[in-house]
């Protein structure tokens, strides 16, 4: 295969398969990459099968469940509703790209660990990417805002209470890492965090009857 240009390879792929192939060059988890894919390839499949990162999960494949959510130029989008071709020239981050190079977990990942934010873990990559992007815009969400932030993602294990707790805890961790008070300036949030601290991070659903 040595010495062949991309054009030649694409032409050969067309000969072999009878369908158009494209070269897609993107920045994938901070690394420049080029993949050759049939033009009908969904971004979710390109990520899993061509870029070989299987953290991005595919549930419904029509935009409803959110398991496939990735960051496209920092914004959360459904990778099952994108063509791989649309990633050309773009900056893509998947759940694998969130941790620091030294292995330090992203605040949202760390919060999921602490708050028992996952059960089977199928939905988790989509939640983590969605929440990571959300906290860039709103670094101290209220409980209601945390609910809203995760409303576009489905969890079949119904771990929403703990996932919501993880949103608030992730905000705390971000502040801690920035050298600020983890409780933040927001009174309501501070009270809730304190409450969580006293009761433990993962107050069971049944134990929260009197809390909203």
Ligand X SMILES: Cc1cc2nc3c(=O)[nH]c(=O)nc-3n(C[C@H](O)[C@H](O)[C@H](O)COP(=O)(O)OP(=O)(O)OC[C@H]3O[C@@H](n4cnc5c(N)ncnc54)[C@H](O)[C@@H]3O)c2cc1C
- Assess 63 for contact with ligand X (CB under 6 A): yes
Q: Which does 65 bind (CB under 5 to 8 A by kind): ligand FES, ligand X, another protein, none?
A: ligand FES
Q: Considering only residues 142-201, where is the footprint of another protein by CB under 8 A?
A: 145, 148, 151-152
CA distances in angstroms from 70 to 77, 97, 153, 157, listed in the order given? 6, 10, 12, 21
179: phi > 0 → left, psi -120 to 50 → alpha, else beta; which? left
Residues 141-170 vs ligand X: string with x where CB under 6 A?
Answer: ------------------------------
What kind and span of H or E run contains 35? Answer: strand 31-38
- 111 near 166, Cβ under 8 Å? yes
Q: Which does 135 bind (CB under 5 to 8 A by kind): another protein, ligand X, ligand FES, none?
A: none
CA distance linking residue 196 with residue 145, whole number of Å: 17
Q: Give the interface with another protein as residue ranges (CB under 8 A).
A: 18-20, 22, 38-40, 42, 45, 61-63, 66, 69, 72, 75-78, 80-83, 85-86, 88, 130, 137-138, 145, 148, 151-152
């Amino acid at each position: 295969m040595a010495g062949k240009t991309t054009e030649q390879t694409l032409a050969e792929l067309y000969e072999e398969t009878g369908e158009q192939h494209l070269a897609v060059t993107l920045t994938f988890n901070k690394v420049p990459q080029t993949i050759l894919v049939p033009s009908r390839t969904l971004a979710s499949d390109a990520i899993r099968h061509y870029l070989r990162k299987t953290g991005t999960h595919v549930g419904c494949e029509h935009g409803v469940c959110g398991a496939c959510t990735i960051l496209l130029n920092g914004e959360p989008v459904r990778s099952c509703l994108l063509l791989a071709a649309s990633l050309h020239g773009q900056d893509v981050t998947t759940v694998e790209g969130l941790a620091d190079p030294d292995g330090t977990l992203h605040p949202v990942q760390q919060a999921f660990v602490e708050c028992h934010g996952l059960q089977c873990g199928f939905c988790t990559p989509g939640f983590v990417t969605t929440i990571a992007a959300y906290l860039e815009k709103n670094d101290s969400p209220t409980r209601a805002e945390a609910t809203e932030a995760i409303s576009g993602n489905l969890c079949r294990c119904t771990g929403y209470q703990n996932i919501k707790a993880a949103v608030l805890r992730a905000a705390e961790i971000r502040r801690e890492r920035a050298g600020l008070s983890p409780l933040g300036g927001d009174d309501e949030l501070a009270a809730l965090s304190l409450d969580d601290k006293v009761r433990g991070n993962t107050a069971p659903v049944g134990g929260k009857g009197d809390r909203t």
